């Protein structure tokens, strides 16, 4: 953990280093992924099976390619009742929030008689990647699948690697609840390529979303354009702005809720109270020892944690904008939090007040937990129904409307040296 | 040009070949681009100047890095009056259409007292790439720059290569009209890298849009994530659905308005009238000879043109959806066009009725002419203000609201093995 104070003469340099620190692996996996992607494109299922055997250690001919819907239902019915109720509450709230994101169509006729509009439709099919192993989270299944269903996607496909054939029943239960239509027991770059190009067994999809390791991320990047993808995701981050009236234990827990994800996760506190900063630092150290995730949390906090003491909380705002954090908590009285939030330019998701820990947003609040990381909140947004929809613009002129705007089109087409463009308008003008 | 008839026994195979034909260059430029991008990242302006000298044939120290705003104004004032009026009409209509795209913010409190919302903001800075040479179109400047300005982008940067130092006055005039803030005399992958990483002279931007050659497209793809980008663009396409009551000359001109763009452009007519098909084919051949763009038009029509005779126009719809065309004209009586359009699933932009040639949409109608190509209308949309904005979701709970939804978050966090997540909520529940 580093501790900075804005009045320190070295502050500017130290804070710039924090902003520019690269926590993302620069893994040179591009060539491996290119080989895998081409093999799946050219050889289909045979390549998928061969990579699954080599990388996940099981033979799809034995374990089976698909996980059947009956297995999803069985996993769901096997859940303890409290967990089932929690998943159901989460699913209900996430679906409600995302359904309201569906954009309105447009259809207007302007003053010269030109009809102008835009129409939104869901993509036909979407694929959701769900990692195996440590990062196999049922909440991720809900957060990726439910926006697709809210958008109206008719065919929702899930792919998930099952190392040595093992599946995660919580993930299958969430897939049941989210209404996933097909689940394939495959992962890695080969699964992304199979979704993008399709194989004899797996029909192609139009959009692929969901988190994954460096191979999965690189495969999505290489296949961007063949399919639509969500934003590349990096290590998780939280920034907390807190005054001295908070309980240091609460804020420490919030910081650790990111640190425990991964050794590359980052947690940063901004406070205007140096004594409170001390108290939070102590509470973090004490709480880490009590966590089953203590090793990861310790590594992440030591390497990427920071506490920044500012003169006033206002002073934190331009610094926070430079970080453009995935998650931003503003733990102050409601009116103060509101005033600060008004002036935040760049953040993926914001948590206002003393009773809104970021983790409540990870699971049950409703907004998506798939959010831009690595300063990408400067230009990108959390996952939404828009990632599973596309807009068709449209236009209709009658002879009168075309007479009003057509001559300008003819002039511009001629200036650009495109005579057939000009002619297609001019003929209709009777020219 | 190929001619197909749905009743032909080979139709399915022939149409599948048309759908799957690859018109995009598979140029292996990835390694070159990686070298350029890394050089610009590491050496900044010096690398930009060296590549400009080598590839564009001029020395930036002599020609100057920037094109000044006074030069933009002078270009604008030098335009013939009719052209100036045409550009102004186009700019006004494009700005009006895109301003209405600005999405509404959300701020709601649900039945258990959880406040949920989403807030849209413009990115701080955007870069627009404008190609030099044949494809330097003032209409492209308007279509990329005006949505950024409508979104509220404060710093709008244009980059455009000026081979041997030559600039295109129409492009500069359009930049003036669109309110571009900075213009740099650079192009290629080096310009994209300069915008993404920034250099000593050029401050970085958050989003880069605009068409370009294979190097520009690959640089955007490699830098996706460092900056936001618009969709990769391929060769232009038009599909026309027309009954026999159209003037064959009008429809031929519409088909040629895509063919004249590039030898890889594609134009396809669907009609239910075989004699009309003959008449359009004849009209295309006759008109080509009259165009100054005859060589390109001839190559494109011969290689990628198609006329498909269908039994009924309804029969065309599933075929059109498989093509997911960039542009779709439905040239029929208004009610028939409307009925067909209702059932179209995949198209970038649709032009309804007999008096709406696609070219009117290229210039002055208002909707964007930057549209998904190469079947990408299955999952992506035309350029819009959304490409220059991002959404911050937000959440506020008081103690009562957290008591309602918090326990489910605790249960799910524990099930996922994330104890700090659970604790950050549980502490506030008084547990």
Given the residues B182, B237, B326, B358, select the one marked as catalytic: B326
Cite the DSSP H helix spans in B121-213: 138-151, 169-178, 188-197
Residue B26 predicted with pLDDT over 70: no
A386 vs B contacts (CB less than 8 Å) = 386
- Contact across the interface for A353 and B398, Cβ inside 8 Å: yes
Digit-coded pLDDT (tens) for A230-285 = 987 788 999 999 999 999 999 999 999 999 999 999 999 999 999 999 999 999 99
DSSP string, B75-134: HHHTS-HHHHHHHHHHHHHHHHHHHTTPPPPEEEE-TTS-EEEEEEEE-SEEEEE---GG
Interior CA angle at A237 toward A236 and A242, to 5°?
150
pLDDT (mean) for B277-282: 98
Whether residues B203 and B65 fall in one domain? yes
Query: Which residues of A make up each annotated binding site for NAD(+)?
Result: 129, 190, 213
Closest in B93, B103, B257 to A421, CB measured: B257
Digit-coded pLDDT (tens) for B37-56 = 999 999 999 999 999 999 99
Whether residues A267 and A186 fall in one domain? no
Confidence band for A29, pLDDT divided at 50, 70 and 90: confident
Closest in B90, B390, B424 to A379, CB measured: B390
Residue A133 predicted with pLDDT over 80: no
Digit-coded pLDDT (tens) for A148-183 = 999 999 999 999 999 887 888 999 999 999 999 999
A57: region left, alpha or beta (phi > 0 left; psi from -120 to 50 alpha): left
Residue B266 predicted with pLDDT over 80: yes
pLDDT value of position A28:
73
Q: CA A23 to CA A374: how far, in whole Å?
A: 8
**Distance of residue B128 Cα from the nearest chain A Cα, in angstroms:** 15
Q: CA B237 to CA B371: how far, in whole Å?
A: 10
B166, part of any domain = yes
Q: CA B405 to CA B407: how far, in whole Å?
A: 6
Digit-coded pLDDT (tens) for B98-130 = 999 999 999 999 999 999 999 999 999 999 999
Question: Which position has the token pair 């050219």?
Answer: A42
Among candidate residues B177, B174, B181, B179, the one with its CA nearest the CA of residue B202: B181
- Burial zone of A334 (CB within 10 Å; 0-12 exposed, 13-18 middle, 19+ buried): middle
Q: Please say whether the beta carbons of B358 and A424 come within 8 A.
A: yes
Q: Provide the residue range defining the domain that includes A407.
A: 397-429
Domain end call among A214, A229, A244: A229
Among candidate residues B276, B427, B48, B224, the one with its CA nearest the CA of residue A372: B224
Among candidate residues B324, B223, B249, the one with its CA nearest the CA of residue B20: B324
Digit-coded pLDDT (tens) for B169-209 = 999 999 999 999 999 999 999 999 999 999 999 999 999 99
pLDDT value of position A136:
75
B3, part of any domain = no
Confidence band for A385, pLDDT divided at 50, 70 and 90: very high
Given the residues B58, B98, B327, B369, select the one marked as catalytic: B327
pLDDT value of position B164:
81
> Nearest chain B Cα to A226, which residue?
B376
- Contact across the interface for A359 and B250, Cβ inside 8 Å: no
- Contact across the interface for B415 and A386, Cβ inside 8 Å: no
Q: Please say whether the beta carbons of B209 and B125 come within 8 A.
A: no
Residue A2 predicted with pLDDT over 60: yes
Interior CA angle at B353 toward B349 and B354, to 5°?
120
Confidence band for B165, pLDDT divided at 50, 70 and 90: confident
- HSE at residue A32, side-chain half, CA atoms within 13 A, is 13
Whether residues A244 and A223 fall in one domain? no
| Sequence-separated (6 or more) residues with CB below 8 Å from residue B317 | B340, B343, B344
B118 vs A contacts (CB less than 8 Å) = 101, 367
B18, part of any domain = no
* Phi–psi pair at B159, nearest 5 degrees: -120, 140
pLDDT value of position B346:
98
A227 vs B contacts (CB less than 8 Å) = 379
Q: Please say whether the beta carbons of B164 and B58 come within 8 A.
A: yes
Domain count within chain B: 3
- Contact across the interface for B349 and A253, Cβ inside 8 Å: no
Q: CA B210 to CA B127: how far, in whole Å?
A: 8
Q: Give the count of Cβ contacts less than 8 A between chain A and B.
A: 372
Say which CATH number the domain at B265 has: 3.40.50.1980
Closest in B365, B368, B377 to A390, CB measured: B377
- Contact across the interface for B355 and A398, Cβ inside 8 Å: yes
- Contact across the interface for A420 and B297, Cβ inside 8 Å: yes
Confidence band for A24, pLDDT divided at 50, 70 and 90: low
Q: Please say whether the beta carbons of A242 and A251 come within 8 A.
A: yes
pLDDT value of position A412:
96
Q: CA B175 to CA A178: how far, in whole Å?
A: 48
Q: CA A182 to CA A128: how far, in whole Å?
A: 10
Active site residue B329: no
Whether residues B280 and B222 fall in one domain? no
Query: Which residues of A make up each annotated binding site for Zn(2+)?
Result: 258, 261, 362, 421
pLDDT value of position A270:
98
Q: How many Cβ atoms are within 10 Å of B179's Cβ, its own excluded?
A: 15
Where is pLDDT greater, at B368 or B212?
B368
A421 vs B contacts (CB less than 8 Å) = 257, 260, 359, 362-363
Domain end call among A365, A382, A411: A365
Domain end call among A345, A365, A385: A365
Query: Between A30-43 and A188-197, two packed helices, what is the crossing angle to 10 degrees?
Result: 50
Digit-coded pLDDT (tens) for B305-326 = 999 999 999 999 999 999 999 9
B236 in a labelled binding site: yes
pLDDT more than 70, % of chain B: 98
pLDDT value of position B214:
86
B337, part of any domain = yes
B15, part of any domain = no
**pLDDT averaged over every residue in chain A:** 95
Q: Please say whether the beta carbons of B118 and A100 come within 8 A.
A: no
Whether residues A13 and A61 fall in one domain? no
pLDDT value of position A189:
97
Confidence band for A386, pLDDT divided at 50, 70 and 90: very high
Residue A31 predicted with pLDDT over 80: yes
Q: CA A227 to CA A222: how far, in whole Å?
A: 10
Q: Is the ipTM of this complex over 0.85?
A: yes
B109, part of any domain = no
pLDDT value of position B22:
72
Residue B353 predicted with pLDDT over 80: yes
Confidence band for B168, pLDDT divided at 50, 70 and 90: confident
B246 in a labelled binding site: no
Whether residues A185 and A59 fall in one domain? yes
Q: Please say whether the beta carbons of B190 and B40 come within 8 A.
A: yes
Whether residues B368 and B422 fall in one domain? no
Q: How many helices (H) and strands (E) does chain A have?
A: 18, 15
Per-residue HEC secondary structure of A153-181 comes to CCEEEEECCCHHHCCCHHHHHHHHHHCCC
Question: Which position has the token pair 């420490």?
Answer: A252
A232 vs B contacts (CB less than 8 Å) = 224-225
A416 vs B contacts (CB less than 8 Å) = 137-139, 170
A139 vs B contacts (CB less than 8 Å) = 412, 416
> Nearest chain A Cα to B363, which residue?
A409
A225 vs B contacts (CB less than 8 Å) = 221, 231-232, 374, 376
Whether residues B214 and B245 fall in one domain? no
Give the tokens for residue B325.
């065309």
pLDDT value of position B134:
57
pLDDT (mean) for A397-421: 97
Q: CA A429 to CA A411: how far, in whole Å?
A: 13
- Contact across the interface for A420 and B259, Cβ inside 8 Å: yes
Q: Which three-class secondary structure state does DSSP give residue A282? A: helix
Q: CA A168 to CA A160: how far, in whole Å?
A: 10
A147, part of any domain = yes
Whether residues B223 and B246 fall in one domain? no
> Nearest chain A Cα to B252, which residue?
A424
Closest in B260, B386, B409 to A359, CB measured: B409
Among candidate residues B66, B236, B258, B80, the one with its CA nearest the CA of residue B170: B80
Cite the DSSP H helix spans in B289-386: 294-304, 316-323, 334-342, 358-363
Q: CA B235 to CA B213: how far, in whole Å?
A: 11
Whether residues A188 and A247 fall in one domain? no
pLDDT more than 90, % of chain B: 89
Greatest CA span in chain B, whole angstroms?
A: 83
B101 in a labelled binding site: no
Interior CA angle at A320 toward A1 and A279, to 5°?
40
- Contact across the interface for B424 and A82, Cβ inside 8 Å: no
B35, part of any domain = yes
Whether residues B68 and B194 fall in one domain? yes
- Contact across the interface for B411 and A261, Cβ inside 8 Å: no
Whether residues A314 and A219 fall in one domain? no
**pLDDT averaged over every residue in chain B:** 95
B176 in a labelled binding site: no
A276: region left, alpha or beta (phi > 0 left; psi from -120 to 50 alpha): alpha
**Distance of residue B61 Cα from the nearest chain A Cα, in angstroms:** 30
pLDDT (mean) for A293-301: 96
* Active-site amino acid positions of A: 326-327
């Amino acid at each position: 953990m580093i501790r900075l104070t804005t009045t320190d003469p070295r502050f500017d340099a130290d804070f710039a280093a924090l902003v520019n620190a690269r926590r993302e692996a620069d893994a040179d996996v591009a060539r491996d992924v290119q080989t895998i992607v081409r093999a799946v494109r050219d050889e289909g299922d045979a390549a998928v099976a061969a990579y699954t055997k080599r990388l996940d250690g099981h033979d799809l001919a034995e374990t089976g390619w698909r996980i059947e819907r009956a297995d999803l239902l069985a996993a769901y019915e096997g859940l303890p009742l409290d967990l089932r109720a929690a998943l159901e509450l989460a699913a209900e709230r996430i679906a409600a929030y995302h359904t309201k994101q569906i954009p309105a169509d447009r259809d207007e006729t302007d003053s010269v008689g030109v009809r102008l509009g835009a129409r939104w439709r869901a993509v036909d099919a979407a694929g959701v990647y769900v990692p195996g192993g440590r990062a196999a989270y049922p909440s991720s299944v809900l957060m990726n699948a439910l926006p697709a269903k809210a958008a109206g996607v008719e065919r929702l496909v899930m792919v998930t690697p099952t190392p040595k054939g093992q599946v995660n029943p919580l993930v299958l239960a969430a897939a049941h609840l989210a209404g996933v239509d097909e689940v394939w027991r495959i992962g890695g770059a080969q699964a992304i390529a199979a979704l993008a190009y399709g194989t004899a067994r797996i029909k192609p999809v139009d959009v692929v979303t969901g988190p994954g390791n460096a191979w999965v991320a690189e495969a999505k990047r290489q296949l961007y354009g063949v399919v639509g993808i969500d934003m590349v995701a990096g290590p998780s981050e939280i920034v907390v702005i807190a005054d001295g009236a908070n309980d240091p234990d609460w804020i420490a827990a919030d910081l650790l809720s990111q640190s425990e994800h991964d050794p590359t996760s980052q947690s940063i506190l901004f406070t205007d109270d140096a004594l409170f900063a001390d108290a939070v630092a102590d509470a973090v150290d004490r709480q880490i020892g009590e966590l089953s995730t203590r090793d990861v949390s310790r590594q992440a906090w030591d390497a990427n944690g920071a506490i920044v003491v500012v003169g006033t909380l206002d002073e934190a705002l331009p610094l926070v904008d430079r970080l453009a954090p995935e998650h931003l908590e503003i733990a102050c009285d409601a009116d103060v939090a509101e005033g600060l939030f008004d002036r935040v330019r760049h953040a993926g998701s914001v948590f206002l007040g003393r009773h809104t820990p970021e983790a409540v947003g990870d699971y049950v609040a409703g907004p998506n937990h798939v959010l831009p990381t690595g300063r990408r909140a400067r230009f990108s947004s959390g996952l939404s129904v828009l990632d599973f929809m596309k807009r068709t613009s449209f236009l209709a002129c009658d002879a009168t409307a075309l007479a009003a705007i057509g001559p300008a089109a003819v002039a511009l087409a001629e200036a650009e040296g495109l005579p057939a463009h000009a002619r297609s308008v001019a003929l209709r003008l009777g020219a």
